[in-house]
């Protein structure tokens, strides 16, 4: 039977001992009174909701799926999903980090992200319904008119209405400049929108009273390509002048996709047949508004894999302690049993520690990124806002791609711990593997994220932002460089930081001569950059643990943190050498392959 214990202690460690988030939050006027006790109390209750309400319907939802009525175009979610959503709304969870001006509670974004990590652990498919609403809320909050905000944000904040984003079309995915959906201007200032959108997560369901779709479409006179795309609000039900729900709009689900995982999430094909919409922002500048939602979604997808990595680790650890198989190579460990628990075997420990290291490293990066997002939007100092936005732009593709790749590695490793029992449905492990697999694909495949990181975020400004992250590493090295106990954590990061400069320059020079060189190196490059970032946070976590032990703490938490840090630097971090060697081989062995791929 699957278990889940919300990792509250580790969340508290990252927030309060490593990042000291309350000190940063108190520099922001809206969070001036925020304290650790409040944050901890909220997350404790959030953990109960995830473990007690969402997890029990995770497997049943996977087995039951969603059902589309082809006559009414209505979708019924699995048993228990609607009731769980009502509990979520009634408890005020939907409003957690939203603006009080629209009925929100105004809590920090980092709290909301950690709450969502726990929901993703417990039930990723369910968490996608309210999760997408946060992205739609952010897009309208940033780019909508005051009238649009008043019309939609109050009920999206309360959870009465949910949101989606409608980008992909049957003939185009990431290349949105190829889209064909059309928006015809009407005399009353609205638009009639016609087209087909596919792979729309939570595109149709029975959880909320209305679904607010954010749709990309082209105006009749739009220029070609991505510069001719506009953004529109297209609600499932039109909204009356008094804010109440009106007539059914002509936007509906024509099919649900039959997927490998997240089967309880309604992934819909959406048809728009002259559906009424209103424009968000300026004509032909829809991507500006949509990027707000897309970037929020990319952070959210990384958080999905973080959640699955955590719950897969927890269950594999319990199993490894209970399952007996063979004897330890170094001698009998369980003398009262016919065989030893499999946790005595080195490679089982390697698989477990891989998941643990990737979960805890991912959590530190996620919290750090959430604080950057908070500062970008709410800090009173313009320079802090700008610097935070720049750093977050660099880290976003790493959050999305590195954490989800790690989730793939970790969930598969944890399933392997179960042996044959992991491959069957009874243990729940194979669902974590299946559910995680989509995270590497949607919201821009991990290859797209890699191209974004290397091509735009690094080479696009001659490595300026990467150098700023390097300064964080430099400051840590300067602080701890003479501390022998920190050498095993600091030295690998410092060396890789120096290597990254030459590595980046080399790829940039080759890419200037042949752009395919960037494409050939990008995936390897992102993974190296991911380890640089994880290495920095693991060094900081080790620093705190060492200080606590030196101060006399006997809490085994800190010993465990050091042991995991040592494992990470010894067994996972060294793959950077192989990755850099692979990246340097260039594009020729990939592109000069006409015969091999004939």
pLDDT in tens, 539-578: 999 999 999 999 999 999 999 999 999 999 999 999 999 9
Rounded Cα distance, 48 and 8, in Å: 11
> Which are the catalytic amino acids?
443
Q: What is the reported pLDDT for 320?
A: 98
Could you tell me if 238 and 247 are in contact, meaning their C-beta atoms sit under 8 angstroms apart?
yes
* C-alpha angle 337-339-341 in degrees, rounded to nearest 5: 95
Query: Any bridge partners for residue 165, and if so which?
Result: 214
Query: Any bridge partners for residue 169, and if so which?
Result: 172
Place of tokens 């020729």: 588
Q: Are strands 210-217 and 161-166 parallel, antiparallel or unpaired?
A: parallel
Q: What is the reported pLDDT for 295?
A: 85
How would residue 177 be classed by pLDDT, with cut points 50, 70 and 90?
Answer: confident
Tell me what percent of the residues of the chain surpass a pLDDT of 90.
95
Cα separations in angstroms, 271 against 129, 186, 251, 260, 275: 19, 20, 6, 23, 9
Report pLDDT digits (tens) over 367-426: 999 999 999 999 999 999 999 999 999 999 999 999 999 999 999 999 999 999 999 999
Rounded Cα distance, 277 and 456, in Å: 33
Q: Stretch 25-38: mean pLDDT, rounded?
A: 97
Give the residue from 318, 412, 435 showing the smallest Cα distance to 58: 435
Q: Stretch 280-292: mean pLDDT, rounded?
A: 89
Q: Is 462 left (phi over 0), alpha (psi -120 to 50) or beta?
A: left
Could you tell me if 215 and 277 are in contact, meaning their C-beta atoms sit under 8 angstroms apart?
yes
Rounded Cα distance, 213 and 251, in Å: 9
Q: What is the reported pLDDT for 175?
A: 75
CATH 1.20.140.10 spans which residues of the chain? 1-444
DSSP 161: E
Report pLDDT digits (tens) over 249-265: 999 999 999 999 999 99
Could you tell me if 216 and 284 are in contact, meaning their C-beta atoms sit under 8 angstroms apart?
no
**Helix, strand, coil in percent for the chain, rounding step 5:** 65, 10, 25
Structure tokens at 298: 């990319």
Could you tell me if 255 and 174 are in contact, meaning their C-beta atoms sit under 8 angstroms apart?
no
Domain 1-444 matching CATH 1.20.140.10: the answer reads yes
Q: Stretch 450-457: mean pLDDT, rounded?
A: 97
């Amino acid at each position: 039977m699957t278990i889940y214990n919300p990792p509250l202690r580790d969340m508290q460690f990252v927030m309060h001992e490593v990042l000291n988030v309350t000190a940063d939050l108190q520099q922001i006027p809206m969070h001036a009174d925020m304290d650790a006790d409040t944050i901890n109390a909220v997350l404790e209750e959030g953990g109960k909701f995830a473990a007690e309400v969402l997890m029990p319907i995770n497997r049943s939802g996977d087995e039951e799926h969603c059902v589309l009525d082809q006559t009414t175009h209505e979708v019924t979610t699995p048993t228990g999903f609607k009731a769980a959503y009502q509990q979520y709304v009634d408890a005020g969870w939907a409003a957690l980090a939203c603006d009080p001006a629209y009925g929100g509670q105004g809590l920090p974004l980092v709290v909301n992200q950690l709450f969502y990590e726990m929901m993703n652990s417990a039930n990723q498919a369910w968490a996608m319904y309210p999760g997408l609403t946060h992205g739609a809320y952010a897009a309208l909050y940033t780019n909508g008119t005051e009238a649009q905000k008043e019309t939609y944000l109050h009920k999206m904040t309360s959870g009465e209405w949910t949101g989606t984003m409608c980008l992909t079309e049957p003939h185009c995915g990431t290349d949105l400049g190829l889209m064909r959906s059309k928006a015809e201007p009407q005399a009353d200032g609205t638009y009639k929108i016609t087209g087909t959108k596919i792979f729309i997560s939570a595109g149709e369901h029975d959880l909320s009273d209305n679904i607010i779709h954010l749709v990309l479409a082209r105006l009749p006179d739009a220029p070609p390509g991505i510069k001719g795309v506009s953004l529109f609000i297209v609600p499932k039900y039109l909204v009356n002048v008094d804010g109440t729900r009106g007539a059914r709009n002509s936007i509906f689900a024509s099919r649900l996709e039959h997927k490998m995982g997240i089967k309880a999430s309604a992934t819909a094909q959406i048809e728009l047949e002259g559906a009424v919409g209103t424009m968000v922002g300026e004509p032909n500048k829809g991507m500006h508004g949509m990027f707000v939602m897309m970037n929020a979604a990319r952070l959210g997808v990384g958080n999905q894999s973080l959640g699955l990595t955590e719950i897969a680790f927890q269950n594999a650890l319990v199993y490894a302690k209970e399952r007996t198989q063979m004897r330890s190579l170094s001698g009998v460990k369980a003398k009262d049993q016919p065989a030893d628990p499999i946790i005595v075997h080195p490679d089982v420990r390697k698989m477990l520690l891989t998941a643990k290291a990737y979960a805890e490293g991912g959590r530190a990066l996620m919290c750090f990124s959430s604080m950057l997002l908070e500062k970008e939007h709410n800090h009173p100092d313009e320079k802090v806002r700008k610097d935070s936005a720049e750093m977050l732009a660099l880290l976003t593709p790493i959050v999305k791609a590195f954490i989800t790749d790690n989730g793939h590695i970790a969930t598969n490793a944890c399933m392997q711990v179960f042996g044959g029992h992991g491959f069957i449905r009874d243990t729940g492990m194979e669902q974590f593997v299946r559910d995680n697999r989509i995270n590497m694909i949607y919201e821009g495949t991990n290859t797209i994220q890699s191209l974004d990181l290397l091509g735009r975020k690094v080479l696009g400004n001659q490595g300026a932002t990467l150098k700023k992250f390097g300064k964080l590493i430099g400051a840590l090295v300067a602080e701890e460089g003479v501390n022998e106990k920190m050498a095993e954590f600091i030295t690998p990061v410092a060396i890789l930081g120096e290597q990254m400069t030459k590595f980046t320059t080399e790829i940039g020079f080759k890419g200037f001569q042949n752009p395919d060189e960037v494409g050939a190196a990008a995936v390897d490059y992102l993974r190296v950059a991911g380890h640089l970032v994880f290495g920095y946070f693991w060094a900081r976590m080790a620093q705190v643990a060492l200080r606590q032990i030196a101060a006399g703490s006997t809490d085994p938490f800190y010993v465990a943190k050091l042991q995991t840090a040592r494992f990470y630097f010894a067994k996972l971090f060294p793959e950077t050498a192989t990755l850099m060697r692979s990246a340097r081989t260039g594009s020729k062995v990939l592109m000069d392959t006409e015969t091999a791929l004939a």
